[in-house]
Amino acid sequence: MKVLTLNFLTCAVKTCKASNDSFPLHPKDAELAKDGVEINPQLLVNVLPRIDWTALRTTSTELGFPALPEQPPTAEDLTSDEKMLQELHTLLLETQMLEGKLVCGHCGHEYAVREGIANFLLPSHLV
């Protein structure tokens, strides 16, 4: 599971969706790996406005990466700064969470991540 994916995920429990605490989910015991993915600058620039930057900062810190700036880079920042582009690419698309758990900050439910795949199936009492 990629860090970019985590930016779109919230708790699967319906009653949690209204709560701000259910997003982002919090990685726990995360085992990370880096996959080589070809960089696509245009895609990154276009994906940027779709990202919840505050949540990404939280996720990045929780995964043990250096703190991201408070404000997201602009499209101009990204296109003119190759290093920044590469770092963002690595964080969002190349960093994989292979094992661990994703924890909902509202209900506390833990979703398992195994072999890079997060499982959001709920036990019947939570559906």
- Pick 63 or 66: Cβ nearer other proteins: 63
CA atoms of 103 and 97, how far apart (whole Å): 14
Of the residues 56, 78, 91, 93, which one makes contact with other proteins according to CB under 8 A: 93
- Pick 17 or 28: Cβ nearer other proteins: 17
Answer for the pair 1, 96: CB distance below 8 angstroms, yes or no. Answer: yes
The DSSP element (H or E) to which 107 belongs, if any, is: none
Residues 47-66 that bind other proteins (CB under 8 A): 47, 50, 52
**Is 13 among the residues that bind Zn ion (CB under 5 A)?**
yes
CA atoms of 126 and 49, how far apart (whole Å): 33
**Residue written as token pair 């602009």:** 74
Contact set with other proteins (CB under 8 A): 1-2, 4-5, 8-14, 17, 23, 35-38, 40, 42-47, 50, 52, 93, 111, 115-122, 124, 127
